[in-house]
Chains A and B, each alone.
Chain A
Amino acid sequence: GAGVSQSPSNKVTEKGKDVELRCDPISGHTALYWYRQSLGQGLEFLIYFQGNSAPDKSGLPSDRFSAERTGGSVSTLTIQRTQQEDSAVYLCASSLARADNSPLHFGNGTRLTVT
């Protein structure tokens, strides 16, 4: 079946512009994560959605970052007034049922470059 789909795969934007990144999880997966990864670095947790529960936003680096998940499926990550340090690969992952005993399936990521 289809895996986790992210779009766009690449995004180049000017400093100060807003960007929206989209994640379409595997059908039926209730848990959805956003991570970002800078070149040569580990995964940095951003936000976690689990079913209808309030999202865990503890990893969002600033109030310029926000995310929503409509209808328990597609999620969008929005970065307002982008800065050069926002340049990274943004990875979305989903898992089945309870996130704490199910492995994650990752999308291919969105490579964001802020010029």
Chain B
Amino acid sequence: RKEVEQDPGPFNVPEGATVAFNCTYSNSASQSFFWYRQDCRKEPKLLMSVYSSGNEDGRFTAQLNRASQYISLLIRDSKLSDSATYLCVVNGFQKLVFGTGTRLLVSP
């Protein structure tokens, strides 16, 4: 089983839609969780950290479910500029591990 797994997508949604991604992780001792965004041919950039109590940043909401070992990212009121690949990152055995990413395409 991979340490971090994501549905590769793509998720095709219209502008204004709400979309959610999940990411599962295998190491139950993981303590740190992040969502990164990567635009085509660019480096990944931190979108948000994921806290135990869940956290929100504008249209983005991140949740952690320790019992089921997954994190989620919810994007409300999708914009064209949200089109990107979203990478889930979890601290594994002493280092951060990236998922392969979920591709989001927002269309007019």
Enumerate chain A interface residues (CB-CB to B < 8 A).
Answer: 33, 35, 41-43, 45, 48, 50, 56, 91, 95, 99-109
Does B105 sit at the interface, judged by CB under 8 A? no
Instruction: Name the A residues within 8 Å of B100 (CB-CB).
Output: 41-43
Enumerate chain B interface residues (CB-CB to A < 8 A).
Answer: 31-32, 34, 36, 42-46, 49, 87, 89, 91, 94-101
Question: Can you list 14 contacts pairing A with B, beta carbon distance less than 8 Å?
Answer: A33-B96, A35-B98, A42-B100, A43-B98, A91-B43, A99-B91, A101-B31, A101-B32, A101-B91, A104-B96, A106-B43, A106-B44, A107-B43, A108-B42
**CB within 8 Å: A-B pair count:** 55
Instruction: Name the A residues within 8 Å of B36 (CB-CB).
Output: 104
Quick one: closest B residue to A102, CB to CB? B32
Return A18 CB to nearest CB of chain B, in Å: 25
